[in-house]
Amino acid sequence: MRHVEGDRLWRAVATLGSWLTSLGLLKASYPKLRPMRTQSLEYADPQGHAQIKMKHLFIFLFPFLFFSTSILAQVEVNFPKKDTAALNQSWSKQNIDLSGKWQMEVTQLPWRGEPEFKQGDNGIAIAEIIHDGNEIRGRVICNAQFANNMGTLYYEKEFKGFVNFERQTIMFEDLKVKNYYNDHKRMPTLETCLKIAELDFYIKDGHYYLEGDWAGIGHLSGQECTPGSLQLKKIKPEEEEEILGTMVSFEKLNPKNELVLRGNKTVKKLRKRKVSKGKEVYVKEEYFNIEIYDHKKSDGDIISLNYNGKWILKEHPIDKEKYTVRVLLSEDVEKNFLILYAENLGEVPPNTAAVVVDDGKRRQKFVLNSDLKQSDVLYFNLK
């Protein structure tokens, strides 16, 4: 009888522990529950759709706390499982070299408003590691397509890390983001996350792996991101052509020879056409909208828009209906610019377009003129 009572008491304690563990995991899944600004590979939305009060969350989820395994399932990833043999393989400064190219997969706990990616593009990037003693450094390149033709995501990240040979782990840290480009039609303020993680090293089926959980902040806003998991798999030389062949480099997306700059960093030529001296525009916010439409009579003008060297609108017929695109002032260029590029001359040359710059504080209207020999430009400054 005592054994029965003791067993009941033990089960009650275990159940209570399971509830508390589940609640702890819920709190950990929503760090400080502040507005988030990172999506995709590891992103968040700066508009702040994730504000939730913990007491309301607890009341809503209380009936489900018995099922703590369902909470754990949110972070389950189909990564290769480490076995005892993999963990026991030797690691030393002599026989393990992490230098080379790695396939990176980043997952994230579900969050409200996260974007959908084209199949095969979600969370996949390529990392290049340089290993020197107990330190690593390198960069990550992400080039992904959003689902349903919603746009493109591209960025490069620099990172560093420190190797702990005894623990067989690496302390990983993203340092900065370069050449960030996102033209999602509905989520123009999407950010990537600057991550930190402790990654376990192991060998499985002849491949090197690094794996662990990450936390991070939005690369522009500094707001906390929904956390997730990170796995890197080293690419063997014979696999490089097959794996890397699907990755498009930044240079291929934006050929350098398309753009020629003057000494003062203004644009001299785009696709061998001269670019006018242009006009200076002052905005009060880093994010702003650009509206474009035909200035006078619709006569079949077709134009493209180039923002900071990237084509944000291609071969677009302009008419009286306004087309709107949201852009961000970039710190990667000395002068932020928008070029109106004529794809034809329409019925009445040159191509003339009205451009409205709306930063939320005021609306400024400009008229740009471009033909097949010269393009017009606007330069943007934060004031």
222 and 176 inside one domain = yes
- Token reading at 328: 């961000």
Conformational region of residue 222, where left means phi above 0, alpha means psi within -120 to 50, and beta covers everything else: left
Buried b (16+ CB within 10 A) or exposed e, 175-206: eebebbbbbbeebbbbbbbbbebebbbbbbee
pLDDT value of position 243: 64
Annotate 22-90 with three-state secondary structure.
Answer: HHHHHHHHCHHHCCCEECCCCEECCCCCCCCCHHHHHHHHHHHCCCHHHHHHHHCCCCCCCCHHHHHCC
Residue 211 domain flag: yes
Evaluate the omega torsion of the peptide bond into residue 350 and state whether it is cis, within 30 degrees of 0: yes
358 and 308 inside one domain = yes
pLDDT value of position 68: 33
pLDDT value of position 228: 93
Domain count, the chain: 3
pLDDT value of position 293: 92
> Domain end: 189, 217, 252, which one?
252
- Token reading at 169: 């782990």
Residue 38 domain flag: no
126 and 139 inside one domain = yes
310 and 365 inside one domain = yes
219 and 367 inside one domain = no
Residue 360 domain flag: yes
Rounded to the nearest 5 percent, the helix, strand and coil shares of the chain are 20, 45, 35
> Domain end: 197, 232, 252, which one?
252
Q: How far apart are CA 106 and CA 77, in angstroms?
A: 10
Rg value, the chain, Cα: 26
CATH of the domain at 108: 2.40.128.120
Q: How far apart are CA 243 and CA 235, in angstroms?
A: 8
194 and 296 inside one domain = no
pLDDT value of position 257: 57
Q: What tens-digit pLDDT sequence spans the chain (383 residues)?
A: 333 344 444 444 444 444 444 444 333 333 333 333 334 345 555 544 333 333 343 344 444 333 333 332 233 334 455 554 554 455 554 478 999 999 998 888 988 888 888 876 656 788 999 999 999 999 998 888 888 888 888 888 999 999 998 889 999 999 998 878 887 878 878 889 999 999 999 999 889 999 999 999 999 888 999 999 999 999 988 887 666 654 444 344 444 458 888 888 899 999 889 999 999 999 999 889 999 998 777 778 899 999 988 888 888 898 888 888 888 888 878 899 999 999 998 777 788 899 999 999 999 999 999 999 999 999 999 98
Q: Write down the residue that tokens 């060998």 correspond to.
A: 203
- For residue 221, how many other CB atoms are within 10 A of its CB? 19
140 and 104 inside one domain = yes
pLDDT value of position 130: 94
Residue 162 domain flag: yes
214 and 139 inside one domain = yes
> Domain end: 219, 252, 285, which one?
252
> Domain range for residue 11?
2-33+45-73
Task: Identify the CA nearest to 301 among candidates 338, 374, 350.
Answer: 350
Task: Identify the CA nearest to 310 among candidates 273, 351, 263, 270.
Answer: 270
260 and 337 inside one domain = yes
373 and 299 inside one domain = yes
68 and 210 inside one domain = no
